[in-house]
């Protein structure tokens, strides 16, 4: 049988299998070393382009690399209060989720204005935040020379919680319901008194709102904090007071305080038998001690959005909801737009009360 011959394939590369084709217009073949050098140059160029593109991506989305270092949450009150406890709970959960330290820093004084002013002047990078409160709404009217503007100098991130107020009296008080209290105040104008934790706080302005809505004259007695105010309401030194559910519910359950009405949209789960102000005839009478997270103005919206999403997720956790419920508070987790609208409404609402009552903190 005739065997066919196999002819070897001829290379089409004029420089042979070991050489690179000559460059256009050149009759020279590249050596193997030259080829390696060219490949190295290409790889280096690709690495350089990647290095340039990474910062550009980060600049396009600042939230992508956030947080890259520790975060501070400033609280304008002393440790141990409701706002401080809420801030520490959120800080702990953020630290667990992000793997970066989240530190709560207490800056009490001047109705929480010291801490608020510090955050208003901080760099707008998401690493200094404020756990603000209703004081950031009321102080806009209560102080003539405030060194910040809540809506101008802050970006509202999300409302964290809301704790309704309860109008309470001593067990031995001669009135057991709102109608009897109003009748007694009208019978003796200026004689009945109401306690507050200090001028300009929500208990003070709640009392001023009661005066306006019920058409009565009762005398404000300010204290240096909620604890001494509560003590004198319990003992009957003052006639009444608006207390947060956090501080009032345990004393109501033990019989040391007598509840009159809840200053909220609905009854409280902890004291379901106590009616709301609206049920008793005083419509739109809602006074809540709330707290929420704020960032300095001009903080990148991507960082604000990331903070809001994570805090909202935290507030939906069962263990977090249980802790807030035990304090008589409701977790919220609103969007930045919803929170801004709420803060604006609170500023307007309390400005009307301040104007009508003439109340001032300075």
Q: Where does the chain have alpha helices with state H? A: 32-60, 82-98, 113-120, 135-142, 150-153, 178-187, 202-214, 226-235, 245-253, 301-315, 318-326, 336-357
pLDDT score recorded for residue 309: 98
Query: Please, which pLDDT band fits residue 344 given cuts at 50, 70 and 90?
Result: very high
**What's the chain's average pLDDT?**
86
> In the predicted model, is pLDDT for residue 340 greater than 60?
yes
Do residues 151 and 340 lie in contact, with contact meaning Cβ atoms separated by under 8 Å? yes
What percent of the chain is modeled with pLDDT above 90? 60
pLDDT score recorded for residue 61: 72
Identify the three-state secondary structure at position 26. Answer: coil
> In the predicted model, is pLDDT for residue 58 greater than 50?
no
Q: What is the DSSP string of 142-162?
A: H-SS-S--HHHHEEEEEEEEE
> In the predicted model, is pLDDT for residue 121 greater than 50?
yes
Residue of 88 and 249 predicted with greater confidence: 88
> In the predicted model, is pLDDT for residue 331 greater than 70?
yes
What percent of the chain is modeled with pLDDT above 70? 83
> In the predicted model, is pLDDT for residue 86 greater than 60?
yes
pLDDT score recorded for residue 34: 59
pLDDT score recorded for residue 7: 43
For 127, residues 6+ apart whose C-beta sits below 8 A from its C-beta are: 67, 69, 70, 71, 72
Residue of 268 and 276 predicted with greater confidence: 276
pLDDT score recorded for residue 221: 93
Query: Please, which pLDDT band fits residue 197 given cuts at 50, 70 and 90?
Result: confident
């Amino acid at each position: 049988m005739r065997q066919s011959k196999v002819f070897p394939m001829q290379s089409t590369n004029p420089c042979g299998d070991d050489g690179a084709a000559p460059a256009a217009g050149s009759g020279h073949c590249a050596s193997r070393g030259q080829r390696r050098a060219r490949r190295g140059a290409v790889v280096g160029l690709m690495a350089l382009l990647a290095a340039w593109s990474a910062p550009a991506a980060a600049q396009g989305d600042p939230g992508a690399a956030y947080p890259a270092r520790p975060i501070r949450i400033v609280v304008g009150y002393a440790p141990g209060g409701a706002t401080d406890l809420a801030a520490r709970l959120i800080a702990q959960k953020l630290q667990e989720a992000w793997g970066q330290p989240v530190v709560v820093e207490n800056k009490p004084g001047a109705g929480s204005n010291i801490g608020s002013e510090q955050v208003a002047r901080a760099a707008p990078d998401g690493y200094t935040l404020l756990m603000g409160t209703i004081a950031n709404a009321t102080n806009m009217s209560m102080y003539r020379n405030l060194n910040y503007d809540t809506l101008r100098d802050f970006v509202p991130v999300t409302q964290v919680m809301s704790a309704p107020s309860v109008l309470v009296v001593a067990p031995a008080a001669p009135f057991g319901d709102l109608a009897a209290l109003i009748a007694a105040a009208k019978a003796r104008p200026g004689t009945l008194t109401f306690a507050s934790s200090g001028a300009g706080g929500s208990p003070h302005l709640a009392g001023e709102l009661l005066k306006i809505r019920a058409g009565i004259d009762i005398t404000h007695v300010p204290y240096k904090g909620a604890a001494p105010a509560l003590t004198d309401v319990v003992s009957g030194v003052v006639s009444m007071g608006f207390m947060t559910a956090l501080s009032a519910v345990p004393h109501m359950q033990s019989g040391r305080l007598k509840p009159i009405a809840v200053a909220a949209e609905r009854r409280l789960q902890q004291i379901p038998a106590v009616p709301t102000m609206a049920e008793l005839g005083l419509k739109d009478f809602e006074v809540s001690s709330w707290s929420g997270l704020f960032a300095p103005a001009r903080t990148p919206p991507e960082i604000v959005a990331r903070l809001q999403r994570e805090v909202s997720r935290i507030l939906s956790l069962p263990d977090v909801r249980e802790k807030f419920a035990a304090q008589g508070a409701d977790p919220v987790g609103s969007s930045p737009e919803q929170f801004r609208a709420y803060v604006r409404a609170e500023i307007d609402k309390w400005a009307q009360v301040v104007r009508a009552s003439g109340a001032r903190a300075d």
